[in-house]
Amino acid sequence: MTTLGKNRARTSCGRPDPARSLALAGQVAEHLRRLEKYRQASQVFLDPSPLLKQARINVLVDGKILIMPGPGLKDGFYRLDPYRIPIAKLAQATVGRELPAFGQKITARSEATALKVDLLIGEYWAVDERGYGVGEGKGFFDLAVALLAELGGLADDCQILVAVQGRERLVAGLPFDPWDIAGHGILTPEEVIMVGQLSPGRPRIVWDELVLDRIRRITPLWKLYVEQGRDR
């Protein structure tokens, strides 16, 4: 491991190759399946990355509720019930553009509060020994988790895992910002590494770091912004 800043980590590790991610997705999914936290979970949030494709399918095959973000989070989240999706359509159902056809859209606080997500998993380009990661730089996974937390959609004992394409993407001492979320564990094709340091506090939205245009583009984020009187 070497100490890298966020930009250096992005440059050094590079964007994960989608074809390689798909080839490794089965290994990642099997390591996830062996975790006790996964076996106990009834609702699992997974991002739409290629590395987690098989894991998304497995969640449904295993009879669990799958929560996914809509494209760009614009329409919020989708709840996929495995017992309402034909087995032959499970893989198709977990593709971003197909979510409206197979899932229930979650945008209102009352809908989100009814969720109790037990486990959340997102892919990073690189991750350090504390579970802090670096991705494309848009903070998509961090914002999605924080938004679910603020809407009351997380179980009290929820855990967060960060997935990377391989051990070569483990680095040391990444800097982190107030909105960055650390994982309780690191999921790789080779193994799962549980980290000693848990996420510092409950995920939260750092409103001052969000531009108004981005807030307006994400329906549940804008509703929360107005609900809290921040538009005044």
| Residues 160-204: tens digit of each pLDDT | 999 999 999 988 888 888 888 889 999 999 999 998 655 445 788
CATH number of 6-205: 3.40.50.10420
Q: How confident is the model at residue 4 (pLDDT cuts 50, 70, 90)?
A: low
Interatomic CA distance for residues 171 and 181, integer angstroms: 16
Give Cβ neighbours of residue 110 (< 8 Å, ≥ 6 apart): none
Give the pLDDT score at 200: 47
Interatomic CA distance for residues 91 and 83, integer angstroms: 14
Interatomic CA distance for residues 187 and 184, integer angstroms: 10
The pLDDT > 70 percentage for the chain reads: 95
Q: So where are the chain's domains?
A: 6-205
Structure-model confidence comparison of residues 186 and 9, the more confident one: 186
Interatomic CA distance for residues 122 and 135, integer angstroms: 10
Interatomic CA distance for residues 70 and 88, integer angstroms: 22
pTM, two decimals, is: 0.91
Q: Is the pLDDT of residue 209 over 60?
A: yes
Alpha helix positions (H), 84-185: 90-93, 99-102, 109-113, 140-150
Two tokens, residue 31: 């390591």
| Mean predicted lDDT score pLDDT of the chain | 90
Beta strands per DSSP E along 92-142: 104-106, 117-123, 126-127, 133-134
Going by their DSSP bridges, the two strands 117-123 and 154-163 should be labelled as parallel
Give the pLDDT score at 104: 95
